[in-house]
């Protein structure tokens, strides 16, 4: 289990039991013995952008845990009521305060061991002025050679950046699907 197991029914408050539901499901779920509500535990979605200005990519230095002080692309958890692109835009605004035009989906990575899916969109920065939010110590542009590779916060960010630079050198961007194990 990746998160704390569900203990009580969100519908009626009764303590749940973990079992395979009687509805033909094949996975063990949190089931309420009182009202029969089945509680599903699904992966969290992390959304963000690869913001670019000329030959440089925008990275944010984290002011929160996990990985305080490490560099990342602007990204975070998707909220209810927003699309993946809207979430990526919101996170880019919150973490970098960047003005940009949203591009297409660039990478989708399943991080099974932590129950997450990470999705990054390409973004074209409109200028080099940023207003980072409270989750960011510093927002800065880097060329590929300047990227602090040893200080990248998350493997998904490093994998996305490597594929971005490779696609840019090849002259064509694709959508990358990876399983991070």
Region 21-47: mean pLDDT is 94
Q: What angle do CA 96, 97, 99 make, to 5 degrees?
A: 110
pLDDT digits (tens, 9 = 90+) for 75-85: 999 999 999 99
Percent of the chain having pLDDT more than 70?
Answer: 98
pLDDT digits (tens, 9 = 90+) for 150-173: 999 999 999 999 999 999 999 999
What confidence score (pLDDT) does residue 22 get?
87
What distance in Å separates the CA atoms of residue 113 and residue 152, rounded to the nearest whole number? 19
Other residues' Cβ atoms within 10 Å of the Cβ of residue 35: 11
- Which is it for the CA torsion 118, 104, 163, 54, positive or negative? negative
pLDDT digits (tens, 9 = 90+) for 35-74: 999 999 999 999 999 999 999 999 999 999 999 999 999 9
At 94, list the tokens.
């919150």
What confidence score (pLDDT) does residue 3 get?
64
Is pLDDT above 70 for 2? no
Q: What is the dihedral of CA 60, 95, 106, 112, to 10 degrees?
A: 90
What distance in Å separates the CA atoms of residue 122 and residue 139, rounded to the nearest whole number? 17
Q: pTM for the full model?
A: 0.90
The average confidence (pLDDT) of the chain is 96
Domains contained in the chain, CATH given: 1-41 (2.20.70.10), 44-180 (3.90.79.10)
What confidence score (pLDDT) does residue 4 get?
77
- Residue 39 burial by CB count (10 A; 0-12/13-18/19+): exposed, middle or buried? middle
Q: What is the DSSP letter of 145?
A: G
pLDDT digits (tens, 9 = 90+) for 110-155: 999 999 999 999 999 999 999 999 999 999 999 999 999 999 999 9
Grade residue 1 by pLDDT with cuts at 50, 70 and 90: very low
């Amino acid at each position: 289990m990746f998160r704390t197991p569900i203990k009580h029914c969100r519908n009626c408050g009764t303590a749940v039991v973990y079992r395979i539901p009687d509805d033909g499901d094949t996975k063990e779920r949190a089931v309420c013995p009182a009202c029969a509500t089945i509680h599903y535990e699904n992966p969290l979605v992390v959304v963000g952008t690869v913001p670019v200005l000329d030959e440089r990519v925008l990275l944010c230095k984290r002011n929160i845990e996990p990985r305080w002080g490490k560099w990342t692309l602007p990204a975070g958890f998707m909220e209810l009521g927003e699309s993946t692109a809207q979430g990526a835009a919101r996170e880019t605004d919150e973490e970098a305060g960047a003005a940009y035009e949203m591009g297409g989906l660039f990478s989708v990575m399943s991080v099974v061991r932590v129950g997450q899916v990470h999705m990054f969109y390409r973004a074209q920065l409109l200028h080099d002025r940023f207003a980072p939010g409270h989750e960011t110590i510093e927002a800065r542009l880097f060329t590929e050679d300047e990227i602090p590779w040893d200080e990248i916060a998350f493997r998904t960010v490093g994998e996305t950046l490597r594929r971005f630079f490779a696609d840019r050198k090849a002259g064509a961007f694709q959508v990358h699907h990876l399983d991070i194990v």
